[in-house]
Amino acid sequence: MRDPRTKTRGLALGVGLCAVAIAAGLQVQVANAQDKPAATPASAQAQTNSKAVYYVDFRARTAASYGHAFVWYGRADQKQIEVAGLHPATENVIPYILGHVIPVPSETGKSYGDLDEEYVTASYRVYMTEAEARDVFAFIKRLQARSPMWNAATWNCVAFIQAIAIHMDLKVPGNHLLYPEDWVNQLKKLNGGRRYMSSPAVAQAASAKPTATAQKPATRANAQAPAAGYAAAGY
């Protein structure tokens, strides 16, 4: 006949071994959980991936005559800078002089000194969402393609960047015959130093939703008459 105490001791030993095994398993699970980084919420990750601050920077710099107006545009988190500005298609002074009487062939990219901060006399940067940037940058490209001529009185460098500001629904001085430095400073003043095309809250919400499309108002906020060259180009 088996001793009941032997059976009891065996049962106790089995229960003890099971408890040890369970405890060891829990320790392994806790250790694994500590080794793994905390999961990032999907919404936060999407916002991080879609965050890209775009801008258009209205700039004026010194030049041999009145100065020059142009824009920088691109992404603030990248070093690459796109330049757009209207100027005679030569360094020769003769076409520049003729351009005060008749239209002369133009170029709409960067010119000498556009990338040098030491020549800058005024600057006003406006940030925008990705959706807004797609629209504005496409407009700049179209404006460049439709600006084959330069004229000091009708379609000059200031008129060119004023067209961009109007498309962005900024308040503009409305006089493209101002000195570039004065025009850029007045642009900044008229818009109260505003740093975003839309409010910061709207910009933040849009950057968290890259599929959202920017809605442009039915009418422009500013009713200033555009330059003659701007109207003739069909804008």
Residue 229 pLDDT: 58
Residue 226 pLDDT: 56
Tens of pLDDT, residues 136-167? 999 999 999 999 999 999 999 999 999 999 99
Tokens of 229: 């060259």
In a domain, 136, yes or no: yes
203, 127 contact by CB (below 8 A):
yes
Residue 212 pLDDT: 38
In a domain, 33, yes or no: no
Tokens of 83: 């330049």
In a domain, 146, yes or no: yes
In a domain, 28, yes or no: no
Residue 65 pLDDT: 86
Residue of 111, 123, 125 lying closest to 59 (CA atoms): 123
Residue 199 pLDDT: 65
In a domain, 124, yes or no: yes
For the whole model, what pTM was predicted?
0.69
Q: Report the DSSP beta bridge partners of residue 7.
A: none
In a domain, 15, yes or no: no
Residue 64 pLDDT: 83
Per-block average pLDDT, block size 10, for the chain (235 residues)?
Answer: 45 42 43 43 42 88 93 96 97 93 97 95 98 98 98 98 98 97 98 88 50 40 52 47
Residue 1 pLDDT: 46
The count of structural domains within the chain is 1
Residue of 186, 36, 61 lying closest to 119 (CA atoms): 61
Residue range(s) defining the domain that contains residue 131: 47-232
Tens of pLDDT, residues 120-144? 999 999 999 999 999 999 999 999 9
CA angle, residues 72, 77, 78, in degrees to nearest 5:
65
CA-based R_g, the chain, Å: 32
